[in-house]
Amino acid sequence: MYQQYQQPHPYAPQPLRRWWQHPALIITALVLLPPAGIALAWTSRWDQKKKIIATVLSGLWFLLFVLTPDSAKKSGDDAKSPATVATTAAPQSSAPAAAAPSPTPAPAMPSVVGTPFAGAEKAVEALLDTELTALSAYADVTLPADHTTWVVCFQEPAAGSALASKSVPASVHLVAAGTTCPAEKGTSLKPKSTPKATPTPTPTPKPTVDEDDSGSTSGGSGSTSGGSGSVGTVHPGAFCSPAGATGTYNGRIYTCKGPAPNRWRQ
């Protein structure tokens, strides 16, 4: 029997391609899941050059995909962090601080100058626990037991002074109604009169004898030493001798006579 001769095929037959070796599946895996795509690419029928190119491109894509979300997430966290801090700190800064209670101001001393003591006592003792002390504004005037109508001239403490406590001593100086207040406390209403000084008597000057008259008198005296006689011009009131001698002055006659000592007298 004739046996048919079969001519050999010029090319070796290719093995059957498996489903995971399909190019579309490999490309999809390289894009969506690079590690699996790279593994499939190296099991495919691609030549080595295509496998290397596919591996490099898929690896770069995978690195870009892996690093980009971290950077974006980190940037988002960095951007969010200040906002979170600001949001957290905002309630603390916006919360109003508790206001410290303001101290109660001390009461002030009222002005009672010019008012009767009764009204001044009522106004002052309403603020203090101590009694209002009444004194006389004049040093020589005694304050009566009933001085409710007397008028205040001076006060202590001064009007408007802060009363640190309710035990502060307070006093007023009074004058009787209708009496003028003194310029200052302790003044006398009726100052004592100063006694008048007794004038010193002025001594009467002694009359002096003119030189001419004295010469005449001495001469006359000498000429009449033995007895009385006229001695010429004399000075009235001057001492003379002897007793009984006479002299003239401005046409008038003067005699040397006592009471002792002797003087020229009319």
CA of residue 231 relative to chain centroid, distance = 98
Q: Is 97 exposed, middle or buried (0-12, 13-18, 19+ CB in 10 A)?
A: exposed
Report the topology of domain 106-191. Answer: Trypsin Inhibitor V; Chain A (3.30.10)
Residues of the chain with CATH 3.30.10: 106-191
pLDDT on residue 177 = 92
Q: Give mean pLDDT in consecutive 10-residue pieces for the chain, a chain of 266 residues.
A: 52 65 81 82 82 86 76 56 47 55 78 93 89 92 92 93 87 93 88 65 54 41 48 86 88 87 88
- Global confidence as pTM: 0.38
